Structures are given as structure tokens and as C-alpha cells.
Structure 1
């Protein structure tokens, strides 16, 4: 088929024009060097800008074994109050759940008989004391025999004992709070007849709560006095409370082969109630390690690594070994020191020798880079 002359001429002009434009573009670009990244910015990013990154300082940490057990709470002081005497109740000052102070009167029994006994003894006491002193003086002048002086003295001491006994019997008719605390329930009302030994109510000092738990004998060396303990109710969403190990039993239970531990928790708001079952967790103090955010951990064929900001301000790849994970942190070991800055957010887009922002904040603060241009100039933000 024979082509027309105008069609051939148009095709030739198009080829010549395209070649000219291509040559112009190539001649305007800088020649490639040994450090040419093929049209990428520093670190090999496209478009001349690197993505934003965040630097976080590595922190000191220790790797310990965590024990999760069940514990039961009790008040730091707790007592079941009982009646020491028998009689009719005349006064009840027990309001369940009310906070009482040491010495507050909670219950009183009829004490008329005891008050009469005290009045009788107090009336006899000064007379007996005076007779004993007089007979002692007469004995010295031989105006009275030693037997008479001794009889007067013994009578004085007997009446003195009767007075103390009457006062003690009177004190038994009144039940007082032995310490500050929260009063419990009672079924006793004024007019009731109670006997010695009958339970009256309970009193708990809930300013602190002691949580008792037991650990296997194999883990006995993992818990020390003063070690931190967390406790929370078994219910979902329950708040977590921080406490310390306050006591460790001196021996392992022969039946269960467990060691009893006590941890003390402050309870100023009264949210912890004695008798409650808690989920308890404690972590032993272990070997020293370095803590970094979980987002800082990257992986390749060799294993986990992080990007560290070197002294020259550029990204350095540091191979690490993961020792332990927590909710937000990862404890690692390797060529990484406390205070070294590692890339947290954006670490998956960093490459070796990538320029990182200057560190101008404190070591516990993150530093983020808004962007890095192909000329190496970047904006840092504290």
C-alpha cells in the first residue's frame, strides 16, 4: 500500500521533535555521581523529602520474672469486739460503716451496782489508810503491837484492792473503740441482755489494706520486702492499685509447698474493702536492660533491630535481642545505651545514613522531624 507524501512528512517531523525534547531534558540534569540515589532524596526517599520520624530516648530498665496470683485483702488492723460483762444494754452508739476514733464509746451496760461498789470502797479507803499510818507510828513508840500495825496495814491494802476491782468492773460495762477505724454491723439494741463473751460488732482500720497471697516455693527467691505489687479486682475494668511487699513468712507451708506473702496498699479513699479477692501481680528485680518503645523495633533477616541517631546525626542500624515485652515498652540488650535516641514513629521508612533531627529536648521527651529535604535541611519540632 502506498502512503501519501503528507503522512510520511508528518511522522518524520514528530520523530525529530521528540528526540530534540528528550535531549534537552537530559542535558539539563546534573551528572550522576557515585552517591547518586537514582532520583531519591537522602536515604533513598522519592520526591526529595523523607517522611516524618519521632526520636525517643532509650531508658534504663530491669528484666524480672512476673508472678500472677490471687490474694485476699484484710484491714491493717481488725478486731471483733465482744462484751466482757453480763448485763442489760443501756446505750448503743454503733452506726455500721461509720468512722470512729480511738476511745469512742460504742456500747454501755447497766453499771449501777459497780458504781455503788466504787462509792463504798472510796469511803473506806481514806479511813483504812489513816489507820495504817497511825498504827505504824504507834508501833515505832511501842504504843501498839506489831500485830496491830500489820492488821491495819493489811486492811488498808484490801480496801485499796476492792477500789481497783470496782473501778475495773465498771470499765468492763463500757465498750470503747481500741483504735481508729470503721465500725461494722450489730444486732444489739438498748434493752438487750448480753452475756460475757457475746459478739457485739467488728472494727477495721482500713487506712491501709494488707493483701495476702501465696507463691510456689520455687519462686521464693523472686520476692523481696519492698518489692512493688499491683492488685486489682477480678471484675473487668477494675482500677489497679500499687503497693509494696511488707512481710514474707519465715517458712514454706508443708502441705501446699507455698510461701505466704503480705503486701500493703494505701487506702485513703476507702475503695479497698477487707475480705475482697484481688488479682495480684509482682515482678522481681532482674538483670539490667534498656527499654525502648515497641514501635521502635524493626525486623529483617538477621532479626530485630532499631534505628539509632549516631553522633553524626545520621541513622545507624543496631541489632538487638528482645528480653521482655510490656504493654508499651520492649526491654532489649545489644549495642544500645541508656540515653541513646532511637527512631520510634516512622522507623519502618528509615534507611541507613538517613539524617535525623537534632536533639534539643530532655532525654525523656520525643523529638519529631517534620521533613527532610534532599539538601539535608530539615525542620525539628520538640
Structure 2
């Protein structure tokens, strides 16, 4: 019976000790300092989706100039890389024999024309028969055809530019014997450049003429080029399940050449989305979370559904609403329910 008071005293001491040890812990939690963070409001923004591809440039017009007949080069009228206009004479082949033959044919034609005219007058006077006049007319027509043939042969001995553009490297020299198909040079119209690129079949509904593109190339790492989709192929390749798109880009300074490899970003029409800085998203496995600021400067760890990403921004499909304030910097130290202090810089006052 004497042990019972001792037991009661010991129990009371333990309860008092537990209460005493609990109070500092509770006071420590209450007095935990606020964590400084940077916050931002969730607001609607204009979002432009992009489709990326790789393409190859082509000249708007391109041709390989070749000889049409077998003969020697008499004169070359261009330099490598020269800009020429349509109709400029580039190469002249030896043509002395053809020039003499044309002169002879033209003289024959003039005689036949005079004879035909005289016989027509005599027929009217009844001096010669109509048969003689018909023979003279046939001789005239034959001489005229001969002149046309020789002129065409002379034209084949002169190589001209079919359109305006920039010439490539010269492949022949004066005195060289050329034959039909011998390459003389190339001619490219690159004032405007075509760009062909392939896209996967799933993008077919998203691509149409008039869409803007932004293009880059390793040749000009600090420069981008802009263009417009001009046409979409009418067929999808059954093997690759892709289709061909053709765009055009202005190239007034001739910086781009045919055959260059380009990276293409096809810009979709802008749409309004909720977008936040990508650094505000905490990725845990397959889940994405942000810290939303609530009353009393406490944060709530909120699960969100994310969509597209671009240029440091991420699209929010679900989990947040316009007007919510979230933590964008300083999330590493946060836990659900943490107390924060907003260290977001204040905007400068308007002058």
C-alpha cells in the first residue's frame, strides 16, 4: 500500500515532463522563419505551336545550260557567278559557214520574191499562164523556208539566258569542241528560294498554304529567315507516311543558295492558353506539381497537367486558373503548407 503514492507521483512527473518537452517543439514550429521566394500570377497568354522539320533549298528557276550542236566555242561573254538578264548572249559557237549560207539564202529569197511579183502582174495582163505564177510562188515559199532554217541553225550556235539569274562556274573555254549535251554552266534564279521539307502524316490537317515559317541554317548561326508555305503535295508517301511541303523565302541579298540544309519551324495560328515559367514546375516521376500561394502566405503543393513547352514556358492544361499566384523561384526548400515571404521585385514606377 505504500508503493501506490510513489507510483502516482512518478506518473505525474512523466506527464509534466512530456508537456514541458512538447511546448518548445510547438513554439519552434510556430516561429519557423518564412522562406523567401519569387512569385507570379497565372495569366492567359498567346501561344504559337510549332512543327519542326528539316528541308533543302531550291532555286525558284534552275537550269543547266548545254550545247545543242557540235562545233567549237568562238566567244564567251560571261564570268563565273555573274548576274545576267533574260536574253543575254552567253556563248557563241563558230558560225562563219552558216552566216554565208544565210546570206546566200536571203539573196535567193529576194530574187524569188521579185519573180513572183512580176509573174503575178503578167497573169493579170494575160501574158503568162497561171501555172507559171504558181511555180514562181512555190519557189518563193521554198526560199523563205530555207532562210528560216538557216536562221534557226544560227540561233543554235548562240547560247542565251532563258531567264534572269546568277550563273555558276564556267565549264568550257574558247576553242573547245562542244557536242549536244556538253555542259556550259548553270543558271539559278535565287531572288526567291524554294524550300522543300517533309512532315509526318499526322500533321496533314495542321498544314495549309499561307502559314509562316522560320528557318535557320548552320551557315548563318546568328540569323534566321522567314517564309511562307506555298503548296502542299497532293499525295502521302505510302512507305514513309509523310508528305512534302513547299515554301518560299525572299532572298534579295542572295545569302541562300540551292541545295542548303535548313531547319524549319512551321508556325501555327496563335491560341490563348495558361502559360507559366517552366522552372516553376516540380517534376516527380510522371507527375507535375507547382506551389500555389494561399491565404496567410502559405503554399499548397498542387498537381497540374502540362501541355506543350517552348522557350522556357510550359502550357497548363489543368490544375490552375487565371489569377492564381504561384512560386516560380525558390521551390527547392518548400513543402506543402510552408510559410513564404514574397521577394518578387516591385515594378519600377512610371515616369
Q: Same fold (TM over 0.5)?
A: yes
The alignment's TM-score, normalised by the length of structure 2, stands at 0.69
State the distance in 2 between where 1:77 and 1:250 align: 22
Residue 234 of structure 1 deviates from its aligned partner by 4.8
Question: Does residue 187 of structure 2 align to residue 203 of structure 1?
Answer: yes
Residue 297 of structure 1 deviates from its aligned partner by 6.1
Equivalent residues, number: 301
The alignment's TM-score, normalised by the length of structure 1, stands at 0.64
1:203 is paired with a residue whose SS is strand
Residue 156 of structure 1 deviates from its aligned partner by 1.0
State the distance in 1 between where 2:191 and 2:166 align: 9
Root-mean-square deviation over aligned CA pairs: 4.1
Match of 2:56 in 1: 72
Give the counterpart of 1:191 among 175, 184, 202: 175
State the distance in 2 between where 1:296 and 1:278 align: 31
Give the counterpart of 1:113 among 71, 79, 97: 97
State the distance in 1 between where 2:42 and 2:252 align: 36
Give the counterpart of 2:135 among 151, 162, 172: 151
Question: Does residue 46 of structure 2 align to residue 60 of structure 1?
Answer: yes
Match of 1:275 in 2: 259
Query: 1:344/1:78 Cα in 2 relative to 1: closer, same or farther (>3 Å)?
Result: farther
Query: 1:168/1:347 Cα in 2 relative to 1: closer, same or farther (>3 Å)?
Result: farther
Query: 1:156/1:116 Cα in 2 relative to 1: closer, same or farther (>3 Å)?
Result: same
Question: Does residue 350 of structure 2 align to residue 381 of structure 1?
Answer: yes
Residue 79 of structure 1 deviates from its aligned partner by 0.2
Query: 1:291/1:189 Cα in 2 relative to 1: closer, same or farther (>3 Å)?
Result: farther
Match of 2:26 in 1: none
User: Would the aligned equivalents of 1:296 and 1:344 in 2 still touch at CA under 8 Å?
Assistant: no
1:146-185 aligned at under 5 Å gives the runs 146-185=130-169
Residue 180 of structure 1 deviates from its aligned partner by 1.6
Residue 107 of structure 1 deviates from its aligned partner by 1.0
Gaps of 5+ in 1: 1-44, 308-318, 357-367, 371-378
1:249 is paired with a residue whose SS is strand
1:72 is paired with a residue whose SS is strand
User: Would the aligned equivalents of 2:55 and 2:262 in 1 still touch at CA under 8 Å?
Assistant: yes
State the distance in 2 between where 1:291 and 1:111 align: 75
Query: 1:328/1:99 Cα in 2 relative to 1: closer, same or farther (>3 Å)?
Result: farther
Residue 115 of structure 1 deviates from its aligned partner by 1.2
Query: 1:293/1:94 Cα in 2 relative to 1: closer, same or farther (>3 Å)?
Result: farther
User: Would the aligned equivalents of 2:288 and 2:305 in 1 still touch at CA under 8 Å?
Assistant: no
Give the counterpart of 1:289 among 272, 279, 297: 272
User: Would the aligned equivalents of 1:98 and 1:182 in 2 still touch at CA under 8 Å?
Assistant: yes
Residue 173 of structure 1 deviates from its aligned partner by 1.1
User: Would the aligned equivalents of 2:291 and 2:327 in 1 still touch at CA under 8 Å?
Assistant: no
Residue 320 of structure 1 deviates from its aligned partner by 8.6
Gaps of 5+ in 2: 1-33, 294-302, 332-338
User: Would the aligned equivalents of 2:278 and 2:314 in 1 still touch at CA under 8 Å?
Assistant: no
